[in-house]
Structure 1
Amino acid sequence: MNNQTPKKKLSALIAEKRSQKQKRDNSDNLVLMDPHEAINSYVQFQCKKTGFIEQESPEHYCLWDNNYPEHPGRVSVPRKRLEELQLIERCEKVTRQTFSEELFLMKHTKDLIDKLKRSSSIPRNELEKYSSNWDSVYFTKDTFLSAVTAAESALTLSLKVAQGSLKNGLALIRPPGHHAMKDEMCGYCFLNNVALAADAAISKQLTKKVLIVDHDVHHGQGTQRLFYERDDVLYFSIHRYENGLFWPNLRESESDYIGEGKGKGYTVNVPLNETGMDDSDYLAIIINILLPIAYEFKPDLILISAGFDCAIGCPEGEMNVSPHFFAHLVSLLSGLADGKVVVCLEGGYFLESLAEGVACSLKALLGDFPHPLNIDSKPTVKDSLQKVINNVKYFLREYWECFKHEPSFDYPIEGRDIDEENEHVTNIRFEFVGPVIIPYETTGFYPQRSDDEIKTYNQIVDDYRKEYLNGRKCSNVVGYVYDDHLLKHGPTENLGKTIPERSERLTEIINCCEKFGLKERCKLIETSKHDERSWLEKIHERNYLNTVFQLENVPEKPDWFHNEYTSSCIQKSISSILSLAKAIHSGDIRSGTAIIRPPGHHATFDSSSGFCFVNNVVAAGEYLIRQEKYKRILIVDFDIHHGNGTQNLTYDRSDILYLSVHRFDQGKFFPTCKEADCTYTGKNAGEGYNVNVPFNKGSKGDSDYWYVWHKLVLPIAYSFNPEFVIISAGFDAAYFDPLGGGYQLTPEMYGHFIYTLKSLASGRMLVALEGGYHVESTALSMVACVKALLGDPIPVPNLSEMVSEDTVDTVRNVLKWHKKNWPMLKVNKAIANWCDFTGPNKS
């Protein structure tokens, strides 16, 4: 092992000017970037708590209409559910601070504040008439105070999270705020809670960029207008629209309203044109639009305008989103902004699904794993939503790198027909013709559920609660397996050069985990004795195993060497990974890492190479299927070398989905087999369950891999809905790897691979070391993965670099072969360079 310190080793490597990354500073001088600097700056992590603040506003209710949807029960019922689940006691209760009127005047006019104040002195019998001046609001003498305290609650919590005294938080508050405009109240809203919080966090220099995610079923036109010309606040809204026929019936709720001036591209509207949208549809929006933009934007703070009127049962939304979907949304976003996520209640008018949606959101903030999504086998995305998603890409592709690579075509051309399966023409329709009648209705204008419908939906939510109760029970601890005996494997002969697969790969990981304080926070799993030979015989040929276990008179090669300890190390690796799999299954730990060698993903049924002897991850998968009765195992392999052995052993199976992202170079890169191409998709029952993503040209970096990740890996992984996730974690695509050929992945990119997959399978994830031969890059990359499993903040990669044309071609080719296997991929279409505006109001 090189005795230089890590910093000296890194300096020497950088001095060699190999695989280095450069940027220009403000004076146009070249500045060398240390690709490990970002992760090394995240060594210390103080465990902070989730904040909770509540504002029920019990005196703010409609005096003249007992059925009015916006009432104090919208806070009291969710709070009761949080208490039942003992979630609030796990949080730090936050005391509301008061703020000056000047802060409110940053987003609202003095006239609006005065009108709101005036309601406090209006006689009770005149309040209904006063309320009719605004669309869908009511006043009591306490409305002004309620609106102020709700806003102050959101402000207090958001600022504490922004400054870092809390990890994240939930504001269970009313009245809501996202419809409140600069000079107008409407839609149950008076002051814009989230907008005030975002603006205050920036003006107080606690943050530079804020992402607002609004999943209320009604478009938050107030928030949109308040930031429409700014590029430091990205407003993202998913809302029911129906071509303008759904309230608030605004043309500006369409996907072509993307901001103005320097704010162009920083407003993202996803308007839904039919009801009944479910988890699959909303997930398609998150994966195809929100995550790519959010990761490129790199916010410092995320505020969620959490309207639960898109949840199942709500009469205003008429959508079918499950309560636990919101946990997946929070979890997928928590890798960003150092986990600084604040959930602020907006809408939600079916109390049972509202309460459960709030509870699931808070569980995710607390770090609990989400319940698996209720998606059909190989789910589709509704045709109307496919059109909307591609409309959004059309209008935003000039502003976001993640959309610049969408295939396009010229249209209309005489005689040119549209292939609707693979091509998209953007069409905007606005059908609302009004008129808006003033004074506004003050009662009975809202939809209501019948008693039978309420009974039906209450039963659905109750069934969800039973699912959650009967779901996985486990410790919230991350485990790992490691044994010093694994260091003894090595060559007996002088093979003429330094062997890259050496024991320092493990010791550097352990040392790095100690440096980052991870080892003491993780549980070492005691390796129990398994009948390793028996389990290996289920996946490998018996005579081949005889050779592996004896290794007598077997010639050594640079990529297949052995000594007197090799056989025992192989058995120890298998017993280690099986012990880890068993510990995750039993709930002794939530997830874990296998720090083992030799690696295994090149081991086929009856042969191997590439430092591998037996297939560790397939052995673990076989154990989980046969012994623990799992039905769906996902193996994701991001080693730069194709796991030909894993493919060979799972190629005709549908209970194991193998997904590999690797360098191929038209079959010239190790293991130099044609079967690593995207045309090999499985056979018989396994057709579609083998997914190869082969890169062919040039070096690849974080942007290339992230493009593949959100285009292919996430939609396929979520569609498969695995019961257990195994990662073949090879880090040889990282900076400086001697076998990587110049690939340039940062440790944090590997960490975000884990962050975005760890919500699958009720958190059952096993990360097993494969390749990675620059010991420092490998160790730091594994550190990032462990931190992701623990829920620690990790840096967000720089994803503003261009994605290579080869990567775009690779994705296009994989889509061509797998769209038929995984319908969620069908949203990817070529987009015409033309937009059709139709309807009575085109502008």
Structure 2
Amino acid sequence: MDNQIKIKLTTSDLIAARKKEYLETNMKNCKLYDHVQDDFKNARSFIDKKIKQTGIVHDDQFSNHLCIWDSNYPENPQRYESIIKRCNELGLIERCIQIPCRNATNGELLYKHTQEIIDILKSTDNVQETKLLEILSSKFDAVYFHPSTYKQCLLATGSSIELVKAICENKIQNGMAFIRPPGHHAMKSEFCGYCFFNNVAIAAEYVLRHYSVSKILIVDWDVHHGQSTQQMFYDDSRVLYFSIHRYENGEFWPNLRESDWDFTGSGDGQGFNINVPLNSTGMTDTDYLAIFHQILLPVASEFQPDLIMISSGYDAALGCPEGEMEITPACYAHLVNSLLNFGCGRVAVLLEGGYCLKSLAEGAALTLRSLLRDPCPLLDKTGSPCNSIIETIHNVIFAHQKYWKCFQTEVLLSPTYKAVSLYSFNDEPLSVFPTANCYPTQDETKVDEFSVLQHLISETQLLNIKNKVCLSYDLIMDQKHESSESGHPECPGRISAILNMFNTFQLTSRLLILKSREAKESELFLAHSKEHVDEMSNLHKLTLSELSDKEKCYDSVYLTVDTYKVSTLATGCLLQVIDSVINNESSSGVAVIRPPGHHAENDIACGFCIFNSVAIGASYALNKFGLKRIMILDWDIHFGNGTMRAFRSDPRVLYISIHRYQNAKFFPCSEEGSHKATGSDSGEGYTINIPWNKNGMGDAEYISVMHNIILPVAYEFCPELVLVSAGFDAAVGDPLGGCKVTPECYGHLTHCLSSLANGKVILALEGGYNIDAVSYCMTMCTKALLGDPLPPLDLEYPICKHAQNTLKRVVNVQKKYWSCFKPFHYERRNSEF
């Protein structure tokens, strides 16, 4: 790149130029008759939205239904009993609100079933002749009848309705139903696959008929395809059915062609049926997370459901003989957590399958913990998704590109990609079905899975920390260190404005307020030279004229007699938060501090920044607590040159920055902010820059970066602590950033991070110069850490071409370092680089 002449501007020149650009850009998109836009209306509408309790459905009657003639039948009472036992061991049930169980009415059953099939089941009620029950069972695929089956099915369905009713009536935030028998195979006029009435489908239909719910997302991760649920909503655009299931090109039960990726819905429901068929066994957490990151989360973000219902089978869990998959119980907590920021947190989880008692009980219990907003347990580092999953992901995106704008990019899928279905099942259907010994059993050679499972359970750290979020600040930072230039954006008032907004949203009383302190010199030396620290510590001795002269030595920095005190307070407050979080006094934390820090380098102040608080904090955590992996996410609109340089050769710190770049013409005008910069020496690959070369980026672009780059890399890196350089100058209305990210989007980004590092996520205020925007943004982030419902997003998909190009460039550079990028295939065009 040719050397460019850089003209040094005063701060006032810089502000004026940015304001002019912002106004000109927005005026072009404005009509004279437009009303004044309220950018914070959505955030403000959630002022009273606070997380409610979790509901639970359970009843000992769910242990009655069993197979009289086959004691080894996998769908048995021990499934329910093992779950309740494990939940009690973890003290989970007592933390939930008990939802009363009831029987479904005949009218409710008729929502999705014929009267004839209802009557057949009713005819078995209290029938004691075992032979008659077994003969009837032989007429259906993989079911058995017990004298109590009819009543237990009524109870399961009715209780499922009660759970979703309680959620829709705002009596509870979310909930889980420990019910049996399962339901997602029960068809309109046929019993099937251990199922009699479709609990999820009937409950969903009930909600659609009785409440102001117009969009429901049903996620079915049972290892068997829930063909009945698919059939019942196949032409209904109000219900998005998403199923991940073992398929093996049709060779796995229920052996249906309609379970493949190219069955996408019909009529009004086209595009609202998404099948993710698994064509090999042994799928791991890596594979399931890839499905979520590349398919489900983008679609859910675009669909924006009013309610989420999960057909929660645990037969893909490690040790289950039916699924032969290797999903860890802890992974289910992560899957659930990733869905909790949709639908204002309204999530209903209903038990389906799962036939290894150990992994079933653990998976269900950790799912409930996630609903209770306990931190997600750490997973092992993820790796590369298997080739079979990559092909499936591409096939699904290929099939749904025309329906979902989030897929209408060339980021993941080449425009030349062609998909082919390979259905191969040719067996003739049976007219009489076996009634005993008709199910997979645990292969003795798989006994090692049980020892692995037991080790996983015993080694998984389950944290339940009393204080969800801690807060550190000091009003001295808000009263001192003010520029002599009128209208300087980095000004006192930013902190008090945030604290006032916390009070308005009634957050303060819910936070653990930490005592502030100044950072010690030895702590400052973790990221800065002695010369720089000494120079700043002596500022109080200078006259105003001398301070003014010294400012000229720096790029966009002002200095006062209070600079050192305020800057050490900023750093010290962040260190207080780090202590609280790492010592498990708090789950997560927020440091409302100024001045910002991420531009400050080892030996020089820069860009309003004196000491690099986040860089000091990361080094502090590495040294004091012996952490091995820290992720820093810097979403300030300006590239954090100081933080990047502090760790560019250190593989213990993953630095990810989303910033406006403009081909190195946007402050700090450094080519180190390019996508090509990846770190150096042993730290190569641990710097990821996501540079925007155009202004105007909004929620869709930032959410896409989170799903496609940040989360996949973060799960592969497996941080023990996440530090966020939380600048809000990409927010809508900021005079410097020129972007349009909403406060609620920052909340959603924060929630996405909450699944990492055992929930140890810390936000440190950096930039952001529209005080209203900064206040709402930090408030939404804090609400996310508290587990509060977040406003839904209105995402403008597909993301703009400039953003698509940025994502492709980043992946192309980073793919040699991170195996999670293996699914990304596209043709490199020389003109793009």
Structure 1 contact 305–346 (Cα < 8 Å) conserved:
yes
Partner residue, 2:16: none
Partner residue, 2:760: 764
Of 524, 528, 550 in structure 2, the residue corresponding to residue 536 of structure 1 is 524
Of 366, 384, 391 in structure 2, the residue corresponding to residue 387 of structure 1 is 391
1:491: Cα distance to partner? 4.0
Structure 1 contact 591–766 (Cα < 8 Å) conserved:
yes
- Length-normalised TM-score, structure 1: 0.91
1:32: Cα distance to partner? 5.6
Cα deviation, 1:600-636, whole Å, max 9, x if unaligned, reads 0001122232100111101000000011100000000
Distance in 2 between the 1:409 and 1:53 partners?
Answer: 46
Distance in 1 between the 2:353 and 2:827 partners?
Answer: 34
Secondary structure of the structure 1 residue equivalent to 2:490:
coil
Q: Give 1:780's aligned amino acid.
A: Y
Structure 1 contact 19–744 (Cα < 8 Å) conserved:
no
Partner residue, 1:349: 355
1:580-659 to structure 2, matched below 5 A, reads: 580-659=577-656
1:273: Cα distance to partner? 0.7
Indicate whether 1:707 and 2:708 are aligned: no
Partner residue, 1:401: 405
Distance in 1 between the 2:189 and 2:28 partners?
Answer: 49
For structure 1, the residue ranges without an aligned partner over 5 or more in a row are 1-12, 412-423, 833-843
CA gap 1:710/1:46 in 2 versus in 1, 3 angstroms = closer
Indicate whether 1:489 and 2:480 are aligned: yes
Secondary structure of the structure 1 residue equivalent to 2:250:
coil
Distance in 2 between the 1:630 and 1:573 partners?
Answer: 22
1:142: Cα distance to partner? 1.6
Q: Give 2:652's aligned amino acid.
A: D
Cα deviation, 1:377-414, whole Å, max 9, x if unaligned, reads xx111011000001110001111111001356575xxx
1:291-302 to structure 2, matched below 5 A, reads: 291-302=297-308
Distance in 2 between the 1:23 and 1:102 partners?
Answer: 53
Distance in 2 between the 1:66 and 1:702 partners?
Answer: 54
Structure 1 contact 163–206 (Cα < 8 Å) conserved:
no
CA gap 1:457/1:23 in 2 versus in 1, 3 angstroms = farther
Distance in 1 between the 2:623 and 2:23 partners?
Answer: 50
Partner residue, 1:464: 456
Indicate whether 1:733 and 2:738 are aligned: no
Distance in 2 between the 1:710 and 1:765 partners?
Answer: 18
CA gap 1:181/1:507 in 2 versus in 1, 3 angstroms = same
Structure 2 contact 104–154 (Cα < 8 Å) conserved:
no
Partner residue, 1:664: 661
Partner residue, 2:567: 570
Q: Give 1:591's aligned amino acid.
A: S
Partner residue, 1:40: 44
Of 772, 778, 795 in structure 2, the residue corresponding to residue 782 of structure 1 is 778
Structure 2 contact 340–346 (Cα < 8 Å) conserved:
yes
Structure 1 contact 255–270 (Cα < 8 Å) conserved:
yes
1:830: Cα distance to partner? 3.2
Distance in 1 between the 2:480 and 2:258 partners?
Answer: 65
1:238: Cα distance to partner? 0.5
CA gap 1:221/1:33 in 2 versus in 1, 3 angstroms = farther
CA gap 1:452/1:272 in 2 versus in 1, 3 angstroms = closer
CA gap 1:46/1:795 in 2 versus in 1, 3 angstroms = closer
Cα deviation, 1:26-51, whole Å, max 9, x if unaligned, reads xxx96664221001000013452111
Of 683, 686, 691 in structure 2, the residue corresponding to residue 689 of structure 1 is 686
Distance in 1 between the 2:228 and 2:68 partners?
Answer: 26
Structure 1 contact 229–263 (Cα < 8 Å) conserved:
yes
Distance in 2 between the 1:483 and 1:650 partners?
Answer: 28
Secondary structure of the structure 2 residue equivalent to 1:659:
strand
Partner residue, 2:81: 76
Partner residue, 1:9: none
Q: Give 1:516's aligned amino acid.
A: F
Equivalent pairs counted in the alignment come to 796
Cα deviation, 1:567-604, whole Å, max 9, x if unaligned, reads 11111111111111011111111110000011000011
Q: Give 2:101's aligned amino acid.
A: R
Of 424, 439, 443 in structure 2, the residue corresponding to residue 446 of structure 1 is 439
1:443: Cα distance to partner? 1.3
Q: Give 1:525's aligned amino acid.
A: L
Structure 1 contact 425–831 (Cα < 8 Å) conserved:
no
Q: Which moved more, 1:821-830 or 1:645-654?
A: 821-830
1:148: Cα distance to partner? 1.1
Distance in 2 between the 1:46 and 1:657 partners?
Answer: 33
CA gap 1:156/1:426 in 2 versus in 1, 3 angstroms = same
Distance in 1 between the 2:74 and 2:166 partners?
Answer: 31
Q: Give 1:274's aligned amino acid.
A: S
1:512: Cα distance to partner? 0.3
Secondary structure of the structure 2 residue equivalent to 1:354:
helix
Secondary structure of the structure 1 residue equivalent to 2:467:
coil
Cα deviation, 1:456-496, whole Å, max 9, x if unaligned, reads 4443332223223x55563333101010111233346x43x
1:201-220 to structure 2, matched below 5 A, reads: 201-220=207-226
Q: Give 1:41's aligned amino acid.
A: S
Distance in 2 between the 1:258 and 1:22 partners?
Answer: 37
Secondary structure of the structure 2 residue equivalent to 1:512:
helix
- Length-normalised TM-score, structure 2: 0.93
Aligned-CA RMSD value: 2.1
Indicate whether 1:434 and 2:404 are aligned: no
Indicate whether 1:526 and 2:521 are aligned: no
Cα deviation, 1:359-379, whole Å, max 9, x if unaligned, reads 100100111001111234xx1
Q: Give 1:486's aligned amino acid.
A: M
Distance in 1 between the 2:415 and 2:380 partners?
Answer: 39
Q: Give 2:209's aligned amino acid.
A: S
Distance in 2 between the 1:119 and 1:98 partners?
Answer: 16
Distance in 2 between the 1:476 and 1:607 partners?
Answer: 37
Of 228, 234, 249 in structure 1, the residue corresponding to residue 234 of structure 2 is 228
Secondary structure of the structure 2 residue equivalent to 1:751:
helix
Partner residue, 1:86: 91
Structure 1 contact 692–814 (Cα < 8 Å) conserved:
yes
CA gap 1:518/1:204 in 2 versus in 1, 3 angstroms = same
CA gap 1:351/1:89 in 2 versus in 1, 3 angstroms = same
Structure 2 contact 302–797 (Cα < 8 Å) conserved:
no
CA gap 1:394/1:139 in 2 versus in 1, 3 angstroms = same
Partner residue, 1:477: 468
Partner residue, 1:374: 380
Partner residue, 1:177: 183
Distance in 2 between the 1:94 and 1:814 partners?
Answer: 48
Distance in 1 between the 2:519 and 2:603 partners?
Answer: 22
1:143: Cα distance to partner? 1.3
Partner residue, 1:499: 488
Distance in 1 between the 2:110 and 2:27 partners?
Answer: 49
Q: Give 1:432's aligned amino acid.
A: F
Structure 2 contact 322–355 (Cα < 8 Å) conserved:
yes
Structure 1 contact 213–302 (Cα < 8 Å) conserved:
yes
Cα deviation, 1:688-736, whole Å, max 9, x if unaligned, reads 1000000102411111111111111111111111000000000001111
Secondary structure of the structure 2 residue equivalent to 1:212:
strand
1:526: Cα distance to partner? 1.2
Distance in 1 between the 2:29 and 2:209 partners?
Answer: 32
Distance in 2 between the 1:270 and 1:41 partners?
Answer: 36
Cα deviation, 1:206-230, whole Å, max 9, x if unaligned, reads 4221111111000000000000001
Distance in 1 between the 2:103 and 2:823 partners?
Answer: 47
Indicate whether 1:312 and 2:307 are aligned: no
Q: Give 1:140's aligned amino acid.
A: H
Partner residue, 1:836: none
For structure 2, the residue ranges without an aligned partner over 5 or more in a row are 1-19, 829-833
